[in-house]
Amino acid sequence: MKAYPNDTGWFEKYGGTFVPETLIEPLRELRESYLACRSDSSFQNELRDLLRNYVGRETPLTFAKRLSEKLNGAKIYLKREDLTHTGAHKINNAIGQILLARRMGKTRIIAETGAGQHGVATATVAALFGLECVIYMGRVDMARQAPNVQRMGLLGAKVIPVDAGTCTLKDAVSEAMRDWVTNIKNTYYILGSALGPHPYPMMVRDFQSVIGTEARAQILQRENRLPDELVACVGGGSNAIGLFYPFLSDGQVVMTGVEAGGRSLTSGNHAARFQGGSVGVLQGTQTFILQTSEGQIENTHSISAGLDYAAVGPEHAMLRDLGRARYTSVSDVEALKAFHLLSETEGIIPALESSHALAYVMREAALKKSDFIFLVGLSGRGDKDLSSVLDYEKRHA
């Protein structure tokens, strides 16, 4: 495949820069600063050092032996982003962007968060470098991710509740962008997923591609061959594109992204953009979004706060069009079953986001031969989701 995005931020017909005029120059400055850092050996050396000695990379590739036996089919490997410092893949991108913010002379950091893991990661790196930090989070997400809200506070961040709209991730992004427009001079916006205006989808992908780079080398060492299929959950899609990107030229490797099927695939009950969305523009980028025929953004639902978003990253939309990756969805109920199954068979409590990817593997594993290899991106740990799971099961008992 040729290199994407192009110089103006397009992944074929997806991506671009759809922002107010006041953000055009800051985004140009950001793009030029990032491209300079990407080829700067001192920046890259500092990034590698922090990923190794602060984040805890490389993360293990774990063979899920008992889960594989239970499902009576394929071999299942887990790329363990749950074992990073802060407990999810979000720290990879946050470390990269805080170094960029420091190079640009910014003294104030803002971010949005849904499941709270990006907020925690941002608060963590801001504390590490002694920078002011403000996190925007929807009121609904704050209630279902209370432990992460508490963690952000302990790290010194100011968490601002967002009461607009559905009080979830989409609305938190909007508030963060309003803040950025108002405070351009001293503020850096650490966007958490492979979304938004150019250069964010490219930057986040690059910082997260450490996941796939490690996983590719690890599976070759363990099995002496590449996996048959990569599987990752897809909200905005940063952990998935981080896993997929280093495998794009390996045409024999199937890549499957799993969206949130929610309660059902009817309007307002899910967040599966490829199962009912259409091309449109949301919060800076053109991609697949859930919208009405009049172009109004539809409400979304997922038991997982990190997948509850109306748009998907533009590179995922391109990969789907090109046929290089495929996308499906699983329901809340299926994700909960996977949450329990991995916990009980492997002693690993997965995030509800990751549980969607696991649920797909549960569905497919028995249909494969015993030498078939799934490599699953375990994007984070499930501590943050325990209250959501217990509350859901109490209501549906």
Residue 169 is predicted with a pLDDT of: 87
Q: What is the pLDDT of residues 290-340, one digit of tens each?
A: 999 899 999 999 999 899 999 999 999 999 999 999 999 999 999 999 999
pLDDT above 80 for 65: yes
Residue 243 is predicted with a pLDDT of: 98
Q: Is 68 annotated as catalytic? A: no
Question: Out of 331, 355, 379, 388, which one is annotated catalytic?
Answer: 379
Spatial distance between the Cα atoms of 88 and 151, rounded to a whole number of angstroms: 14
Question: Out of 58, 81, 112, 346, which one is annotated catalytic?
Answer: 112
Nearest C-alpha neighbor of 241 from the set 27, 44, 89, 353: 89
| Alpha helix stretches (DSSP H) within 10-78 | 21-38, 41-50, 65-71
% of the chain at pLDDT higher than 90? 93
pLDDT class for 165, splitting at 50, 70, 90? confident
pLDDT above 70 for 348: yes
Q: What is the pLDDT of residues 198-214, one digit of tens each?
A: 999 999 999 999 999 99
Q: Count the Cβ atoms, other than its own, within 10 Å of residue 275.
A: 16
Q: Is the dihedral of CA 336, 337, 343, 348 positive or negative?
A: negative
Spatial distance between the Cα atoms of 254 and 266, rounded to a whole number of angstroms: 28
Spatial distance between the Cα atoms of 77 and 62, rounded to a whole number of angstroms: 5
pLDDT above 90 for 3: no
pLDDT above 90 for 377: yes
Question: Out of 70, 75, 90, 106, which one is annotated catalytic?
Answer: 90
Q: Which residues of 214-230 are buried (b: 16+ CB within 10 A; e: fewer)?
A: bbbebbeeebeebbbbb
DSSP-assigned letters across all residues of 156-167: TPEEEEE-STTS
Higher pLDDT, 64 or 146: 64
Residue type present at position 101: A
Label the pairing between strands 75-80 and 373-378: parallel
pLDDT class for 1, splitting at 50, 70, 90? low
Question: Taking all residues of the chain, what is their mean pLDDT, rounded to a whole number?
Answer: 96
Residue 352 is predicted with a pLDDT of: 97
Q: Is 379 annotated as catalytic? A: yes
**Mean of pLDDT values over 70-80:** 96
Percentages (nearest 5) of helix, strand, coil residues in the chain: 50, 20, 30
Cα angle 149, 131, 55 (rounded to 5 degrees) comes to 65
Spatial distance between the Cα atoms of 244 and 255, rounded to a whole number of angstroms: 7
Owner of token pair 């990034």: 47
In this structure, what token pair is assigned to residue 290? 């859930």
Q: Is the dihedral of CA 189, 191, 195, 198 positive or negative?
A: positive
pLDDT class for 129, splitting at 50, 70, 90? very high
Q: Which long-range contacts (CB under 8 A, 24 or more apart) does 276-281 make?
A: 277/310, 277/312, 279/13, 279/14, 279/317, 281/18
Spatial distance between the Cα atoms of 78 and 379, rounded to a whole number of angstroms: 9
pLDDT above 70 for 153: yes
Q: Is 185 annotated as catalytic? A: no
Spatial distance between the Cα atoms of 62 and 13, rounded to a whole number of angstroms: 37
pLDDT class for 217, splitting at 50, 70, 90? very high
**Mean of pLDDT values over 130-158:** 95
Q: What is the pLDDT of residues 34-54, one digit of tens each?
A: 999 999 999 999 999 999 999
pLDDT above 70 for 85: yes
Q: Are 345 and 339 in contact (CB under 8 A)?
A: no
Q: What is the pLDDT of residues 351-367, one digit of tens each?
A: 999 999 999 999 999 99
